[in-house]
Amino acid sequence: MNCKHVQELLPLFTGRDLDQNRATLVTAHMQSCAACAASAREYRESQQLLQQFATPQFSEAVYSGIRQRVLREISEQPVAPTLGESIAGWFRPRARWAIATVLLLAVSGLAFYLIATRTNGPQQISKGNDQRETSSTGSKPTVSPSPSNRQSHGPTSPAANPDAGGGRTGAGPLDGRYQFQRRKSSRAAAGPGPHTPDVRVITPDIRVIAAQTSPQSKPPVAPNTAADPASEKTLRVDIQTSDQNIRIIWFTHQPAKQGSPGKSSKRIQEVSSHA
């Protein structure tokens, strides 16, 4: 280690801020170098001066004056509540009760609302399903038209609508669910295109419960008969569902005594669908 290097390390060496290894090397160098040893002495003397005279001693009057000024300024400062204190103020007894009451009411109202909506929701859905079902009750009283009797009659006419009167048409287990009139308008307005059929697919053993005839109904064609003198008395009712591929054809006998013109008659006809 040369003198230049030692001179750089002496400030830390004299203050005991040098690591052990380098301190040992500096000590060894100073034993053979008078100049570096003299520099180390000068560093220690200046540090002694610093430690001895850099500690002033002030009178008690100075200190008490400082304390009094500080305490006076503290007392004059407005006591601004901190954020924590402001929040804590909300939880004073009265405020606490008020906040608790408000929160309780809010939670109760929210719970009541949630329960109410959950209760009504399924009912509304079921109502919607019922309406959909009732509007498509042509599936209930479905007719299985025989292939020979299938004729394209286009959209249903009010005369062919067995429920033009709307609503109840007669006795039976499925009575009261015939709502072709309502659906007819929607079907007519819907136009071509994919629609959910209002009439359920014909299944076996479904009976036609109600039918309605009108004076304007077309004379029905009896099933499996091309020309039958008795067919003049058979009423055929064509009902076109919203699904163009599904049409209900009803056959019914005209009553023995016809009512006044325009008066509709209702008959219950059993139709068994062909498999």
Q: Tell me, what DSSP letter sits at residue 144?
A: -
Closest to another protein by CB, 83 or 227 = 83
- Residue 34 Rama label (left phi>0; alpha psi -120 to 50; beta): alpha
Near another protein in 5-24, by CB under 8 A: 8, 11-12, 14-17
User: How many residues make up the chain in this entry?
Assistant: 275
Min separation Cβ 15 and another protein, Å: 6
Sites for another protein among residues 63-82 (CB under 8 A): 63, 65-67, 69-71, 73-75
**Cβ nearer to another protein, comparing 58 with 94:** 58
143/248 Cα distance (integer angstroms):
5
Q: Which long-range contacts (CB under 8 A, 24 or more apart) does 224-230 make?
A: 224/146, 224/148, 224/149
The nearer residue to another protein, 62 or 116, going by C-beta atoms, is 62
> What is the radius of gyration, based on Cα positions, of the chain?
53
Nearest approach in angstroms of CB 77 to another protein is 9
Neighbours of 85 (CB within 10 A): 10
* Nearer residue to another protein within complex by CB, 75 or 260: 75
Q: To the nearest whole angstrom, how small is the minimum distance from the Cβ of residue 103 to another protein?
A: 30
Confirm or reject binding of residue 56 to another protein (CB under 8 A): yes
For residue 158 the two structure tokens come to: 């009010």
Among 2, 20, 32, 55, interactor with another protein by CB under 8 A: 55
Q: Does 3 bind another protein (CB under 8 A)?
A: no
Determine the distance from the C-alpha atom of residue 23 to the mean position of all C-alpha atoms in its chain, rounded to a whole number.
Answer: 75
Part in contact with another protein (CB under 8 A); list of ranges 55-63, 100-108, 199-207, 247-255: 55-63
* Cα–Cα distance, 207 to 139 (Å, whole number): 10
Amino acid making up residue 40: A
CB-wise, 80 or 230, nearer to another protein?
80
What are the backbone angles phi and psi of residue 249, rounded to the nearest 5°?
-120, 120
Exactly one of 2, 4, 20, 53 binds another protein (CB under 8 A); which one?
A: 53
Scan for tokens 């008969």, then name that residue.
225
Residues in region 28-47 near another protein by CB under 8 A = 42-43, 45-47
Question: Rounded CA gap, 72 and 79, in Å?
Answer: 14
Which stretch, 62-70, 98-106, 158-166, 235-243, contacts another protein (CB under 8 A)?
A: 62-70
What residue ranges bind another protein (CB under 8 A)? Answer: 8, 11-12, 14-17, 42-43, 45-59, 61-63, 65-67, 69-71, 73-75
